[in-house]
Amino acid sequence: MSVEGVYDCVLDSPMGEQKSVLTVNVDGDNISGTSEGAMGSMSLNDGKVDGNTMTWNMDMTVPMPMTLKVTATVDGDSLTGSVNAGSFGDMPIKGTKRA
Protein backbone atom coordinates (compact mmCIF):
# COMPACT_ATOMS: atom_id res chain seq x y z
CA MET A 1 0.00 0.00 0.00
CA SER A 2 1.34 3.40 -0.93
CA VAL A 3 0.91 6.44 1.28
CA GLU A 4 1.33 8.63 -1.81
CA GLY A 5 -1.69 10.71 -2.75
CA VAL A 6 -3.90 13.65 -1.84
CA TYR A 7 -5.72 13.76 1.50
CA ASP A 8 -8.50 16.01 2.78
CA CYS A 9 -7.43 16.63 6.39
CA VAL A 10 -8.82 18.20 9.57
CA LEU A 11 -6.56 19.31 12.41
CA ASP A 12 -8.12 19.80 15.85
CA SER A 13 -6.21 22.91 16.96
CA PRO A 14 -6.59 25.42 19.82
CA MET A 15 -8.07 27.77 17.17
CA GLY A 16 -10.73 25.20 16.19
CA GLU A 17 -10.81 22.77 13.29
CA GLN A 18 -8.31 23.62 10.56
CA LYS A 19 -9.00 22.03 7.17
CA SER A 20 -6.21 21.39 4.70
CA VAL A 21 -5.31 19.46 1.58
CA LEU A 22 -2.20 17.32 2.08
CA THR A 23 -0.30 16.19 -1.02
CA VAL A 24 2.26 13.41 -0.43
CA ASN A 25 4.87 12.28 -2.97
CA VAL A 26 7.03 9.23 -2.23
CA ASP A 27 10.60 8.64 -3.43
CA GLY A 28 11.99 5.50 -1.78
CA ASP A 29 11.95 6.12 1.99
CA ASN A 30 11.49 9.88 1.55
CA ILE A 31 8.33 11.91 1.18
CA SER A 32 7.75 15.45 -0.04
CA GLY A 33 4.71 17.54 -0.78
CA THR A 34 2.56 20.34 0.58
CA SER A 35 -0.18 21.09 3.06
CA GLU A 36 -2.52 23.82 1.86
CA GLY A 37 -5.18 25.43 4.02
CA ALA A 38 -6.79 28.71 5.04
CA MET A 39 -3.51 29.92 6.55
CA GLY A 40 -1.48 29.28 3.41
CA SER A 41 0.73 26.57 2.00
CA MET A 42 3.53 24.75 3.82
CA SER A 43 6.11 22.37 2.36
CA LEU A 44 6.75 18.95 3.89
CA ASN A 45 10.38 18.97 5.09
CA ASP A 46 12.60 16.08 6.21
CA GLY A 47 9.82 13.65 5.25
CA LYS A 48 10.28 9.94 5.85
CA VAL A 49 8.05 6.91 5.34
CA ASP A 50 8.35 3.54 7.08
CA GLY A 51 5.66 1.12 5.90
CA ASN A 52 2.43 3.05 6.33
CA THR A 53 3.78 5.60 8.85
CA MET A 54 5.01 9.01 7.76
CA THR A 55 6.91 11.73 9.62
CA TRP A 56 7.68 15.24 8.45
CA ASN A 57 8.16 18.83 9.60
CA MET A 58 6.43 21.98 8.37
CA ASP A 59 7.54 25.57 8.96
CA MET A 60 4.43 27.57 9.84
CA THR A 61 4.52 31.37 9.54
CA VAL A 62 0.86 32.31 10.26
CA PRO A 63 -0.40 33.12 12.87
CA MET A 64 3.10 32.78 14.38
CA PRO A 65 6.35 31.20 13.21
CA MET A 66 7.02 27.69 14.49
CA THR A 67 8.01 24.26 13.25
CA LEU A 68 5.26 21.66 13.30
CA LYS A 69 6.35 18.03 13.71
CA VAL A 70 3.91 15.54 12.21
CA THR A 71 3.51 11.77 12.58
CA ALA A 72 0.71 10.12 10.58
CA THR A 73 -0.33 6.57 9.76
CA VAL A 74 -2.31 5.55 6.70
CA ASP A 75 -4.78 2.65 6.92
CA GLY A 76 -6.57 2.13 3.62
CA ASP A 77 -7.96 5.56 2.70
CA SER A 78 -7.75 6.93 6.26
CA LEU A 79 -4.95 9.03 7.74
CA THR A 80 -4.62 9.54 11.50
CA GLY A 81 -1.86 11.12 13.50
CA SER A 82 -0.67 14.01 15.57
CA VAL A 83 0.95 17.38 15.01
CA ASN A 84 3.34 18.66 17.66
CA ALA A 85 3.24 22.45 17.89
CA GLY A 86 5.96 23.03 20.48
CA SER A 87 4.62 24.63 23.67
CA PHE A 88 1.05 24.16 22.35
CA GLY A 89 1.51 20.38 22.58
CA ASP A 90 0.12 17.65 20.35
CA MET A 91 -2.98 18.11 18.21
CA PRO A 92 -4.84 15.24 16.49
CA ILE A 93 -5.10 15.17 12.71
CA LYS A 94 -7.27 12.96 10.53
CA GLY A 95 -7.76 12.72 6.81
CA THR A 96 -9.31 10.85 3.93
CA LYS A 97 -7.43 9.97 0.75
CA ARG A 98 -9.02 11.21 -2.47
CA ALA A 99 -9.86 8.57 -5.06
Question: How does pLDDT run along the chain (99 residues), one tens digit per residue?
Answer: 689 999 999 999 888 999 999 999 999 999 999 999 988 899 999 999 999 999 999 999 888 899 999 999 999 999 999 999 998 899 999 999 998
Taking alpha carbons only, the member of 56, 55, 49 closest to residue 29 is 49
Provide CB contacts within 8 A for 88, sequence distance 6+. 14
How high is the pLDDT of residue 1?
Answer: 62
> What residue segments make up the domains of the chain, in order of their start?
5-90
In a 13 Å sphere around the CA of 6, the CA atoms on its Cβ side amount to 5
